[in-house]
Amino acid sequence: MNQDYIKTDPWSIIEEGFNKELVKSSESLFSIGNGAMGQRANFEEEYTGETFQGSYIAGVYYPDKTRVGWWKNGYPEYFAKVLNAPNWIGIEILIGDELLDLNTCKSVNDFKRELNMREGWYQRSFTAQLQSGVEISVCTTRFLSLDIDEVGAIQYEITPLNQNVDITFCPYLDSGITNEDTNWDDKFWNTTNITSEGNQAFIEAHTMKTNFATCTFMEAKLLYKGSPIEISPNLKKGDTSVGLSYELAVEKGECFSIHKFGGYTVSRNHNESELVKAAKSTLQKAVTIGYEGLLQKQKEAWAQIWEMSDITIEGDVKAQQGIRFNIFQLNQTYLGKDSRLNIGPKGFTGEKYGGSTYWDTEAYCVPFYMATKNQEVAWSLLEYRYNHLEKAIENAKKLGFTNGAALYPMVTMNGEECHNEWEITFEEIHRNGAIAFAIYNYHRFTGDYSYIPKMGLEVLIGIARFWHQRVNFSEEKQQYVMLGVTGPNEYENNVNNNWYTNYLAKWCMDYAAEQVQKVKNEYPEDYKRIADKTNLTTVETEDWNKVTNNMYFPFSEKHQVFLQQDGFLDKEMIKVQDLDKSERPINQKWSWDRILRSPYIKQADVLQGFYFFEDHFSKVALEKHFDFYEPFTVHESSLSPCVHSIQAAKLGRMEQAYTFYLRTSRLDLDDYNKEVEEGLHITSMAGTWMSIVEGFGGMRVLDNQLHFTPRIPKQWDSYSFKINFRNQVITITVSEQKVSFEITGNQDLKIQVNEKPLMLTPGKVVQA
């Protein structure tokens, strides 16, 4: 744990007291988003202290020219980045002649931030004494509307406390913004037009190269003593900015406030020539509903989200706050409305990882969205990859593969590979398997097979072809091997026969062959279409099976475990607990070669395979592998603790499971990795959800049935979560004493609890 300044509260994230050193961390932690845009918790007013500005528009990115030391054939030309977008939240504030700036005030008191997760808004309040001696009280609240997702609303209230004073609000838009992360200090935005009309202003700007056209817009409404007033604004226009300045003589003790409505219309969703028109129409809708009305709708929309996805924990407020923060952020990031979008590892809370898509989505996020949303959301995530299939085939071609083999990129925005480390870009190919696994997982969970004949089979064929070409026959071993890969444990590079990758490859080819057969038998028209499109031949699936029937898996007879890769046992096998504390985290303390030749594991690798394919292995085998690998695991990836928490729970090691759970659920709130100021770890938050549902709750879907093996950490009184299973919502409540179930819908549901059948009837609480 690196920090503990966030107040514990079941529903809110709260900071009290103004600490300039925490501004950047809080800007991450108090971020807001609505799936279409996101906003770090930057101050609306001027702030000359250390800050990391971030406004983001989903799907608007820039191809930043690749920067490498040593170019390798096959590297992509650019790294696509979600950009810092034009600022729409800014409000310059003059108190008399003095610019309000918390960095230069004489004193700042009663500073408080609250991110209300239940209702989806963020508020900041404080009193300040300015250099002029004027004292003011400020309260500013904002949210990004779930209802009209192009718009956000701010209510900024100022009350002078010790004298009458002229106050000026100057809400503005600014497209003269930069990224902190830029390879070549490129200019990312080109401002083309700035206009204003009454209380409205518009900046049209487009991204360089990608030419995403945007209109950033705003409209201001002023209030004095609680009632609307009209003030004629003074226009302040710059090269890349526009402001509307409203001045008022304010009496001591009276509140002058502004409602600022703002946001973006984007050429992704509108005709490029009609962005201003669209902005006006959006503004009209928002202003008509008004600030209070929008806020009310916001509360209702969040209530609906929580209705389905909340997890309650009794008796452990820190754990409760942690899991809600995770669920809240996931919902702020992605809502499944748009299959062109996906989930960046930092969502809309920072620039790192460029807002791009990683295998995190399929491995960690899909289960969360499947179980807490309607199945269309998970379908959207699968469709995203289907839409990128042609690009995945191109990508594989670039690396020498033929015949429609597909390699999905390690990092992508539009389907093209963005990453440029050979050991990752070219070798961390297990990502391809996670994409196939998500298709299987979707079918397993939802029971909906239609995705496979419609879209999924083509993806599975492309992936199977890739694996089939990627392995080679070893004359020495008389088996098929896979050389030169990087597994999920990125602390090993360019290894041979990574067990996880080999296993996943075999599974992909087998699964694809099965689905080809099934679609052929059950959906002959789809089969014909797909076979024609992909030039699939009958012998091809036989060829895949030839490989899968004779695949090599490294195994230690002595330890009776699968080996992470060839040669793993040649390492110096010192356990993590025997490492000097000063050596940790090794990714900060050790040079890369030392990490690579050490046995230390960044995140689950063999165990990730046991997680995906749990039913292929006995519990005894899981225990053996867990006991063999976990002691060498440093968990230096945010994606590591959750899998271990789930497996520890399965093995009945609740103390260990709970420790891993805390680490994943409060990773950002407690800033375990000393980097929260860069943004939040959004995708690993889905892992936290899995830790409770799959770990403590022991939820699985086997043979079209929900299974539970509920356990509870001794620190908790009880916990409860819900699962949307095939259009019925099951609520599970677990305490030390009892486990109870409730379902919605109008039909009974047979489930398995601790391997015993249990019949659930709508409207009835059933105890297991």
Write out the catalytic residue numbers: 490
Which part of the chain contacts its own copies (CB under 8 A), choosing from 106-114, 275-283, 440-448, 583-591? 583-591
Piece in contact with its own copies (CB under 8 A), picked from 208-216, 396-404, 635-643, 705-713 = 396-404
Q: By CB under 8 A, tell whether 588 contacts its own copies.
A: yes
CB of 596 to its own copies, least distance (A): 5
Of the residues 19, 48, 50, 68, which one makes contact with its own copies according to CB under 8 A: 68
User: What character string, x for contact with its own copies (CB under 8 A) and - otherwise, covers 543-582?
Assistant: ---------------x-------xx-xxxxx---------
Residue 481 sits in the site that holds its own copies (CB under 8 A): yes
From 47-55, 238-246, 442-450, 470-478, span contacting its own copies (CB under 8 A): 470-478
Determine which helix (DSSP H) or strand (DSSP E) holds 377, and give its type and residue range: helix 375-387
Comparing CB distances to its own copies, the nearer of 74 and 745 is 74
The DSSP string of 65-117 is EP--SS--TT--SEEEEEPPPPB---EEEEETTEEP-TTT-SEEEEEEEEEET
Provide the β-strand partners of residue 289: none
Q: Of 155, 126, 160, nearest to 143 (Cα)?
A: 155
Among 596, 622, 651, 766, the residue binding its own copies under the rule CB under 8 A is: 596
* 153 and 286 Cβ atoms separated by less than 8 Å: yes
Shortest Cβ distance from residue 183 to its own copies (Å)? 8
Q: Is 337 in the site for its own copies (CB under 8 A)?
A: no
Q: Give the residue, chosen from 225, 252, 340, 477, that forms a contact with its own copies under the rule CB under 8 A.
A: 477
Told to check if 592 binds its own copies by CB under 8 A, we report yes
Phi and psi of 697, rounded to 5°?
A: -75, -20
Closest CA to 23 of 2, 1, 53: 53
Cβ contact 428:363 at 8 Å: no
Give the amino acid at 38.
G
Nearer to its own copies, 591 or 746 (CB): 591
Question: Are 743 and 760 a contacting pair, CB within 8 Å?
Answer: yes
What are the φ and ψ backbone dihedral angles of 654, each rounded to 5 degrees? -70, -30
Q: Does residue 124 contact residue 140 with C-beta atoms inside 8 Å?
A: yes
Contact between 664 and its own copies (CB under 8 A)? no
Does 49 sit near its own copies (CB under 8 A)? no
User: Nearest distance from residue 489's CB to its own copies, in Å?
Assistant: 14
Q: Choose which of 17, 49, 133, 400 interacts with its own copies (CB under 8 A).
A: 400
Token pair listed for 749: 């549901």
Amino acid letter, residue 322: G
Could you list the residues known to form a binding site for substrate, using ranges.
359-360, 602-603
Complex with its own copies: residue 281 or 550, whichever CB lies closer: 550
Q: Which is nearer to its own copies, 125 or 183 (CB)?
A: 183
Among 52, 212, 359, 426, binds its own copies (CB under 8 A): 426
Q: Which is nearer to its own copies, 75 or 264 (CB)?
A: 75
Q: Which is nearer to its own copies, 598 or 733 (CB)?
A: 598
DSSP label of 8? P
Contact status, residue 722 vs residue 309, Cβ threshold 8 Å: yes
Distance of CA 568 to the CA centre of its chain: 33
222 contacts 231 by C-beta, under 8 angstroms: yes
Rounded Cα–Cα distance for residues 395 and 401 (Å): 9
Residue range at the interface with its own copies (CB under 8 A); choices 71-79, 80-88, 170-178, 513-521:
71-79
Structure tokens, 664: 């994943």
- CB 663, min distance to its own copies, A: 23
DSSP 713-749: -TT-SEEEEEEEETTEEEEEEEESS-EEEEE-SSS-E
Q: Which helix (DSSP H) or strand (DSSP E) does residue 209 occupy?
A: none
Candidates 587, 656, 735, 740: give the one binding its own copies (CB under 8 A): 587
Query: Which residues are near its own copies by CB under 8 A?
Result: 66-70, 72-74, 398-400, 420-423, 426-427, 472-477, 481, 483-484, 493-494, 496, 558, 566-567, 569-573, 587-594, 596-597
